[in-house]
Amino acid sequence: MKGFFEVKQKQKTKAMSSKNTLSCVSCGLYKDVVSTMIQPYGNFRKRILNIGEAPGVIEDERGKPWQGKMGRLLKKTYRELGIDLFEDCLNVNAVNCRPPGNKTPTKQQIACCRKVMVEKIIKEYAPDIIILLGGSAVNSFLDLRWKKNLGGIMRWRGWAIPDRDLKAWVCPTFHPSYVERMQMDGITNIWKEDLWQAFSKIGEKPPIFKPPMIDIIDDLRHLDGINTDIVAFDYETTGIKPHARSHRIVSCAVADREDHAYAFLMPSSKEKRKPLVNLFQSNKIMKVAHHMKFEDHWTNKRLYTEINNWGFDTMLSSHILDNREGVSSLKFQSYVNFGIVGYDDEITSYLQSNDKSANAMNKIYELLKKPGGKEKLLTYNGYDAVLTLRLATQHIHQIEHDFLPF
């Protein structure tokens, strides 16, 4: 399964440009404006791309972005932080023809302008930093990247995302109109902190996370050779809760390094599972999981053993570090921290059930029956374990640095 992750990234990039029906004609905003498709503006000296919402009346008249009241606020705030809006940045909007009545652009209008203009600008200029100003900009950039529930600006603001595809920092924050409308010092200060964090990335290359090696094994005695202080592990199961008699742990992955994991289908015999049980019972190796209650409960109920030396729960640490709703899932954390998105696209539907009862069975066995299904499941399982270990390492350092007094 070498190349699984790279293929998914290429498919996702291609998908962002594949909707041939998206055009200026299907959008229609160009019919009622003074300036059609306002072009990007700025000297781009510090390789910062700002994506706003849409032109206003003055921008439409002058044919340039950020010419009105909100532009003056943005220019002033950038200057306070040492950045010239038009000298250091390139400026564009999610929709580059003014919507009538200055209405918020629709998803269709944003999708059309993304296809016709925004994607091409990003590809041509290859910015080092992309600042997404407001919900429309988040929609423009992230809607096809993040295929789950996108949510609003409150979920995304404040992250500096090291996007793998673009090798750029993606930094969502409020639109200046929201800051001006709220008239609250707290909102203004948060906005400035977000922008300061984005500008602090000038000259800093996003980290490159090499795709990990996932060893798909049948013989669990490989686990006997693990010689490390900490491992992360992850299960793929037939459902959410283990109580129904038909439920099973289908596969497991154990990450012993931040670039390596063992992944395997769970053996049916106790003898063949013994190396895994020995690992769980070891007091010398700290165990990490994302939502450890899930793995702990399934281990107790289905493997009839206890896990010793539980050390860290990355879902809990995600919530401690940022208690906003919708940010603690492993997939979200993997994207905002490592720029990794979409490795679960082919798998997710099989891990869900149409039945919403607590003990419902998912469709994981359907995946295993498909050609290459076993390899896809175990590779996905391995990525979950590796990303959990990476996230634990990062969160432990962050918590020690930000919260502990020593």
Res 11: pLDDT: 42
Q: What is the pLDDT of residues 204-229, one digit of tens each?
A: 999 988 889 999 999 999 999 999 99
- DSSP secondary structure, 92-133, as one string: EESS-SPPGGGPPPPHHHHHHHIIIIIHHHHHHH--SEEEEE
Q: At residue 9, does pLDDT exceed 50? A: no
Return the H-helix or E-strand segment holding 380: helix 373-402
pLDDT at position 17 over 60: no
How far apart CA 133 and CA 64 sit, in angstroms, is 17
Percent of the chain at pLDDT > 90 equals 83
Give the residue-averaged pLDDT of 75-83: 98
Q: What is the pLDDT of residue 367?
A: 97
pLDDT band with cut points at 50, 70 and 90 for residue 63:
very high
Tell the CATH superfamily of the 213-402 domain. Ribonuclease H-like superfamily/Ribonuclease H (3.30.420.10)
Strand pairing partners for 168?
163
Give the pLDDT confidence score for residue 395 in this predicted structure.
96
CA distance 128 to 38: 22
Domain ranges of the chain: 18-199, 213-402
* Residue 27 near residue 112, CB atoms below 8 Å: yes
Once rounded to an integer, what is the mean pLDDT over residues 10-29?
65
Q: Is the pTM of this model over 0.85?
A: yes
d(CA 248, CA 267): 11
pLDDT for position 403? 56
Identity at 36, one-letter amino acid code: T
CA dist., res. 89 & res. 77, Å (int) = 14
Please tell me the predicted confidence (pLDDT) of residue 8: 47
Residue 280: CB atoms within 10 Å: 24
> Which pLDDT band holds residue 404 (cuts at 50, 70, 90)?
low
- What is d(CA 117, CA 135) in angstroms, rounded to the nearest whole number? 18
Residue predicted with more confidence, 208 or 105: 105
Answer whether residue 2 shows pLDDT above 60. Answer: no
Does the pLDDT value for residue 12 go beyond 70? no
What is the model's pLDDT at position 64?
A: 96
Look up residue 126 and give its amino acid: A
**Residue 321 above 80 pLDDT?**
yes
Pick the more confident residue, 258 or 183: 258
Distances 391 to 30, 43, 213, 306, 371 between C-alpha atoms, Å: 46, 37, 17, 24, 32
Tell whether the model's pLDDT for residue 357 goes beyond 90.
Answer: no
Mean pLDDT for all residues in the chain: 92
Residue listed under structure tokens 């019972």: 281
Q: What is the pLDDT of residue 4?
A: 45
Q: What pLDDT does residue 148 have? A: 84
The model's pLDDT over 265-320, given as tens digits with 9 standing for 90+, comes to 999 999 999 999 999 999 999 999 999 999 999 999 999 999 999 999 999 999 99
Instruction: Quote the percentage of the chain above a pLDDT of 70.
Output: 94
Q: What is the arithmetic mean of pLDDT over 237-266?
A: 96
CA 327/CA 398 separation, integer angstroms: 17
Phi-psi region of 404 (alpha: psi -120 to 50; beta: other; left: phi over 0): beta
Higher-confidence residue of 101 and 137: namely 137
Instruction: Tell whether the model's pLDDT for residue 90 goes beyond 70.
Output: yes
Name beta bridge partners: 262: 215, 254
- The fold for domain 18-199 equals Uracil-DNA Glycosylase, subunit E (3.40.470)
Question: What are the tens digits of pLDDT across the range 149-197?
Answer: 899 999 999 999 999 889 999 999 999 999 999 988 899 999 999 999 9
